[in-house]
């Protein structure tokens, strides 16, 4: 892939994420309510999720009409260019519904199956994270680097929980195994922002089971380009089974702990 094409994809992603972030921040109705549910009654969609994905799809169709698109709220277009966009128009919907600031817009571009560009817009933080494969990661104009090496017992680790009761119950058991062995646990409510916080040195590590491609595509690239290690179970790529991102030292200790605790299954 040429550097010119990478730069074009980054520019498109930045525009789409900025415009969707402005819509979500400035257009949130005071009486915002749940528009639909998905996997369970607490896995919610609001009218703003749908509006943001429509806006992003429009930007992509205008600027890159031959590309594919996979969006959380239903967009699924094959495309003919070899480029496919992976879009979460509102990562952290429950936070957004409750008026909490921990939400963002996540947009990644794949080329022939490999993620080459990632952008996460965090309007309530006033921050934009971005990465290009092989080009490092930035927050605004600041180059991102994950935290220096630290032992697991001094590591601040983030995680998340699924929406199905059986999965949540087991995830709570995993946390009970992990928390005595680390500095502390955080639960922010947005996988994309947790991954960016690993990149920015605000967390030593993050893990979660049950993520979808749109939850992790952009944030995982940003974390990797900031020097973090990312992956799944037993050296596999990050996936819905398990996603782990951490500083190299913490990753080496955290991954076997999660394996032993059964973080990869319900």
Tell me what the mean pLDDT of segment 46-50 comes to.
92
pLDDT at site 234: 82
Cβ 61 vs Cβ 87: under 8 Å: no
Is 141 in contact with 197 (CB distance < 8 Å)? no
Whole-angstrom distance, CA of residue 163 vs CA of residue 177: 21
Do 179 and 207 contact (CB within 8 A), yes or no?
Answer: no
Q: What is the mean pLDDT of residues 171-196?
A: 98
Q: Name the nearest CA neighbour of 83 among 162, 164, 168, 12.
A: 12
Task: Out of 31-45, 97-111, 163-177, 198-212, pick the least confident.
Answer: 31-45
pLDDT at 10: 98
pLDDT at 76 (0 to 100): 92
CATH architecture for the domain at 3-143: 2-Layer Sandwich (3.30)
Is residue 141 within a helix (H) or strand (E), and if so which, with residue range? none
> Does residue 37 register a pLDDT over 80?
no
Number of other residues whose CB lies within 10 A of the CB of residue 140: 11
Q: Is the pLDDT of residue 170 over 70?
A: yes
What are the start-end ranges of the H helices in the chain? 3-26, 47-63, 93-97, 165-178, 191-199, 213-225, 248-261
Extents of the domains making up the chain: 3-143, 152-261
Count, residues in the chain: 266
Q: Which fold has domain 152-261?
A: D-Maltodextrin-Binding Protein; domain 2 (3.40.190)
Is pLDDT at 157 greater than 70 in this prediction? yes
Q: What integer pLDDT is reported at residue 43 of this predicted model? A: 65
Give the residue carrying structure tokens 């600031």: 101
Collapsing DSSP states into helix, strand and coil, what is residue 212? coil
Percent residues over pLDDT 90 in the chain? 91
User: What's the CA gap between 145 and 63, in Å, rounded?
Assistant: 31
Tens-place pLDDT, residues 63-76? 999 999 999 988 89
Task: Count CB atoms within 10 A of the CB of residue 57.
Answer: 20
- Written as six digits, the tokens of 149 are 């090496």
Question: What does pLDDT average to over the chain?
Answer: 95
């Amino acid at each position: 892939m040429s550097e010119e094409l990478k730069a074009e994809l980054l520019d498109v992603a930045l525009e789409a994420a900025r415009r969707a972030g402005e819509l979500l921040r400035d257009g949130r109705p005071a009486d915002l309510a749940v528009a639909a549910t998905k996997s369970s009654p607490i896995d919610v969609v609001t009218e703003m999720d749908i509006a943001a994905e429509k806006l992003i799809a429009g930007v992509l169709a205008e600027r890159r009409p031959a590309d594919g698109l996979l969006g959380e709220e239903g967009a699924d277009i094959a495309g003919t260019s070899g480029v496919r966009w992976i879009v979460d128009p509102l990562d952290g919907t429950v936070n957004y519904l409750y008026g909490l600031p921990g939400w963002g817009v996540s947009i990644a571009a794949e080329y022939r199956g490999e993620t080459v560009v990632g952008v996460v817009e965090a309007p309530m933080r006033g921050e934009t994270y971005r990465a290009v494969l092989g080009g490092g990661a930035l927050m605004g104009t600041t180059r991102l680097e994950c935290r220096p090496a630290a032992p697991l017992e001094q590591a601040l680790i983030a995680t998340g929980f699924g929406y199905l009761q059986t999965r949540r119950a087991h995830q709570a058991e995993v946390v009970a195994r992990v928390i005595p062995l680390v500095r502390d646990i955080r639960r922010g409510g947005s996988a994309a922002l947790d991954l960016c916080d690993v990149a920015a040195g605000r967390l030593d590590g993050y893990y979660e089971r049950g993520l979808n491609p749109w939850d992790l595509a952009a944030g995982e690239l940003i974390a990797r380009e900031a020097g973090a290690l990312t992956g799944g179970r037993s050296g596999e790529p990050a996936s819905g089974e398990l996603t782990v991102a951490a500083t190299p030292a913490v990753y080496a200790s955290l991954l076997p702990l999660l394996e032993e605790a059964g973080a990869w299954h319900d």
